[in-house]
Structure 1
Amino acid sequence: MSVLADLLAEVFREPTLAGVARELATLAAPLWLAAIVGLLIGWAWRPRWAAAVVDVAATAQHQPVPVAAPQAPAQATTAAAESAVVVVDPRATTVSEPAEDDELAVNTPDLMHLRRVVEEKDGGPAWTHMMDRTLPTFRYQAWKREPENGPPQYRSSTIFEDASPDVVRDFFWDDDFRIKNTWDDMLLKHETLEECTETGTMVVRWVRKFPFFCSDREYVIGRRIWASGKTYYCVTKSVPRPSVPRCSKPRRVDLYYSSWCIRPVESRNGDGAMTACEVLLFHHEDMGIPWSIAKLGVQQGMWGCVKRIEPGLRAYQTARAAGEPISKFAAMAHANTKFVAGELTASENNDEAGSTSNNAQAEKPKHWTGNLPKVFVIGSVVALACTFDKGLLTKALVFGTARRFAGPGRR
């Protein structure tokens, strides 16, 4: 304030009114210019929620008035009711009867994409080795890669000794046990939104706990399991569901892909028995924080999370051996879709690789306008610094304020 007062006092010392007006115009010009540029940039770079509000208002304004349908014969009405999807509430479970594969939240192209990733034939960048840890009852290896237009991707191989693929499949699918056993201590709550008992396809909502400097995250996930013999392909990915309203907290994660290939492998005992189980995991998501920070968090916390899985699996094996009833989620894991690997491979050769994969659809290049707010703030502060004073102390203070407001805050 003292700097501004001194500057104004110096302006009003001008001997003529024209001189005062000229100095005031010189002082105010950068501020007006910054304000006009800010308005133009703000309109061009509207946040998603503002565009969504405009779209909803326009849709509501042009929404046609529903017209009562003609009365159908009683037999036709009964037949339609038997094959319809039962909807009780937008947030309640929707149970769907047999449906076409392409109408499901997770379908055959997702299986094809996962198989290509497992076989390293998806055309993505090469994997870089990150970690290799071995304990008496399991071994863990991890790799990562960084696509040009998406978040970092992670691949891991975990081999559990004395574990069957069936139990491991149920273990990872069982949301109730995740919370009960707390082996996945990030999962705060879950609910089932849709399920198809014929194919085992589900849509679930998760709320996951994030560190104190981030708000919790919400996931709307579609998932399904395919089986080829004793090998299971488990796909989980984010799916759009407008019926689930967005909230400021927890924040919705729109890009999420976490899928497994679970298969029997030879034990390390050297007896040739296929009594071990390998879990190949492929994971990436856009959590809404800078990818560089997310990478650092994954590298620091990966092994700590992995070590919690093995005791959870052993507790799950003990519960199953004791005859405890399986949960609804484990029962849905049993309703997997059977397929013959050779037939699917022949079908894949006739399709374009990766044309409908969740990974290719969701990952979009970041536009250069994503940095416009910081450019605007820093540019405005530069103009202020050069206008107010020529001293280094004032400029250091103003530039420090710019870094504070333009730097990463709570996401």
Structure 2
Amino acid sequence: MSVLADLLAGVFREPTLAGVARELATLAAPLWLAVLVGLLIGWAWRPRWAAAVQQENPAPPALAHNTSAAAAGESSASASASAVVPRAKVASVAPVEDELPVNTADLMHLRRVVEEKDGGPAWIHMMERTLPTMRYQAWRRDPENGPPQYRSSTIFEDTSPDVVRDFFWDDEFRMKNTWDDMLLQHEILEQCTKTGTMVVRWVRKFPFFCSDREYIIGRRIWASGKTYYCVTKGVPRPSVPRSSKPRRVDLYYSSWCIRPVESRNGDGAMTACEVLLFHHEDMGIPWGIAKLGVQQGMWGCVKRIEPGLRAYEIARTTGEPLSKYAAMAHANTKFIADELISAEDNNDAGSTSNKALAEKPKHWTCNIPKVFLIGGAVALACTFDQGLLTKAVIFGTARRFAGPGRR
């Protein structure tokens, strides 16, 4: 430090301001020269920099072109709106799968969750209850980022998956029978009669100290034999204006796998029906308080389902007409489970190979530009015997460029 101080003192002892400026320029010249040479070497040896800059900062005409293309895509989506028709109009064109609010990717995710292959944390058992014609179990898990997630298994005796499917889809019966006494309002915003895809709006009642909650939900059913995968999730709809009351819930997922299972009578008959439910949502309540509320009130809500289902079975046997919601449950999408598993395995294999390729160690020649840049800067710094300050800056810059792993 004393040498550096003496050097600076000598500079400022110059009798004129021009002399001081000249000496400072002499000290700074090696630094600027090193930076210039480093940039030239880096540009010559790493042409990928230019490509990266071009990708991050596209020319204005290209941006305009992409914007036009996006607008054209939106127009195309609007032109095919007859496939997903607002306010219950009839579809006239075959829908595009990827444009539907609930698509095959949602089915594959639900299947992974059902088979406990989604990579999430382990489930923690919460409760188990039994009624004469119903068995219930519930689990919870807490992901690192996101609200608590719940999984439940409800087995109803002497009923069919078809009836249970319609029962959970029928919003009109939910309110008429009041087995779900939290539902205050419901309406269909969009529907696709070919695939059974719907977008519905719910308003649900919350305790007096909270405002009611509004949900914009996309939902759809897939069928593989007598097993039904029913996906319901929150979907964005900017066209539906928000309000302070009821408060919009954006993060919402509640999906079922409905399948026949063996009766507990022990006769081997598949006369019972299991409903595997997976649910999580961000209601705008602290997650710790929400967990406590769910744990305290879960069974009180669940035990109302079984008498509601039996009332629904009676209504069906007496010939009561299907509601428009239950009718849409019949427009489910058929699929073959083995084919979906094969496609999912191929996707997993492709993503694994891509990940392995991305993690492949780089060849030593990839570090040549960095070596030249650092070496050139060090060589230039050592060439000038009076550039002590410049040497310090350049050596510090070189060390920083090399990264903390090389220190």
TM-score by length of 2: 0.65
Paired residue secondary structure (1:210): coil
Residue of structure 2 in register with 1:279 after alignment: 275
- Name the CA distance, whole Å, in 2 between partners of 1:93 and 1:228: 26
**C-alpha deviation, 1:351, in angstroms:** 2.0
Q: Given the alignment, which residue of 207, 211, 215 partners 1:215?
A: 211
Correspondence for 1:349: 345
What is aligned with 1:138?
134
Amino acid at match of 1:221: I
Counting aligned pairs with the same residue, the percent is: 84
Aligned residue pairs, count: 274
**Secondary structure of the residue that 1:350 maps to in structure 2?**
helix
Alpha carbons 2:82, 2:90 under 8 Å: kept: yes
Q: Does 1:85 align with 2:76?
A: no
| Counterpart pick for 2:261 among 248, 261, 265 | 265
Q: Residue 109 of structure 1: which of 105, 119, 125 is its match?
A: 105
Deviations along 1:20-45, one digit per CA (max 9) or x if unpaired, are xxxxxxxxxxxxxxxxxxxxxxxxxx
Determine which structure has more spread, i.e. the larger CA radius of gyration. 2
Quote how far apart the aligned CAs of 1:87 are.
9.3
Contact map agreement 1:98 1:196 (CA 8 A) in 2: no
- Contact map agreement 1:86 1:94 (CA 8 A) in 2: no
5 Å-filtered alignment, 1:58-207, equals: 85=82, 92-93=87-88, 95-96=90-91, 97-207=93-203
Q: Which amino acid aligns with 1:271?
A: D
Q: 2:287 corresponds to which letter in structure 1? A: W
Asked whether the 8 Å contact 1:87–1:93 carries over to 2, the reply is no
Change (3 A) 1:181 1:83: same
Change (3 A) 1:320 1:346: same
- 1:176 match: secondary structure: helix
- Indicate yes or no: 2:295 matched with 1:294: no
Q: For 1:95 and 1:225, how far apart are their aligned partners in 2?
A: 19
| SS state at 2:139 partner | strand
- SS of 1:205's equivalent in the other structure is strand
| Alpha-carbon distance between aligned partners in 2 of 1:188 and 1:303, rounded to the nearest angstrom | 21
| CA distance in structure 1 between the aligned counterparts of 2:111 and 2:84, rounded to whole angstroms | 33
1:158 and 1:279 in contact (8 A); partners too: yes
Distance in 2 separating the partners of 1:231 and 1:85: 29
- How many Å apart are 1:85 and its aligned residue? 2.0
Preserved CA contact (<8 Å) 1:226 1:339: yes
Match of 1:320 among 311, 316, 319: 316
SS class of match (1:234):
strand
- Structure 1 distance, partners of 2:296, 2:257, is 25
Instruction: State the alpha-carbon separation in 2 of the partners of residues 101 and 349 from structure 1.
Output: 20
Runs (4 or more) in structure 1 with deviation over 6 Å come to 80-83
* Equivalent position amino acid for 1:240 in 2: P
1:95 shift after superposition: 4.7
The answer to whether the Cα contact below 8 Å between 1:227 and 1:337 also exists between their aligned partners in 2 is yes
Instruction: Describe the shift of the 1:243–1:276 C-alpha distance in structure 2 as closer, same or farther (beyond 3 A).
Output: same
1:238 aligns with 2:223: no
Residue 166 of structure 1 and its aligned partner are, at CA, apart by 0.0
1:9 maps to none
Q: Aligned with 2:143: secondary structure?
A: coil
Residues 234/248 of structure 1: CA separation in 2 closer, same or farther (3 Å cut): same
Q: Does the CA contact (< 8 Å) of 2:165 and 2:258 recur in 1? A: yes
When normalised by structure 1's length, the TM-score is 0.64
Aligned-partner Cα distance in 2 for 1:145–1:211? 24
What residue ranges of structure 2 are gaps of 5+ in the alignment?
1-76, 352-407
Tell me whether 1:249 sits opposite 2:237 in the alignment. no
Q: Structure 1: which amino acid aligns with 2:82?
A: V
Whole-angstrom CA distance in 2 between matches of 1:347 and 1:145 = 28
Partner of 1:329: 325
Bigger fraction of residues in helix: 2
- 1:216-248 CA distances to partner (integer Å, 9 max, x unpaired)? 000000000000000000000000001000001
Equivalent-residue separation in structure 2 for 1:82 and 1:244 (angstroms):
20
Counterparts of 1:324 and 1:291, CA distance in 2: 42
Which one-letter code corresponds to 1:284 in the other structure? Answer: H
Shift of the alpha carbon at 1:93? 4.1
C-alpha displacement at 1:98, in angstroms?
A: 1.9
C-alpha contact (below 8 Å) 1:204/1:222 kept by paired residues: yes
Q: Deviations over 1:349-397 (max 9, x none)?
A: 12249x9xxxxxxxxxxxxxxxxxxxxxxxxxxxxxxxxxxxxxxxxxx
Counterpart Cα distance in 2 of 1:245 and 1:84: 20
In the superposition, relative to structure 1, how do residues 85 and 317 fare at CA in structure 2: closer, same or farther (>3 Å)?
Answer: same
Contact 2:201 2:217 (8 Å CA) reproduced: yes
| In 1: Cα distance, 2:78 partner to 2:246 partner | 36
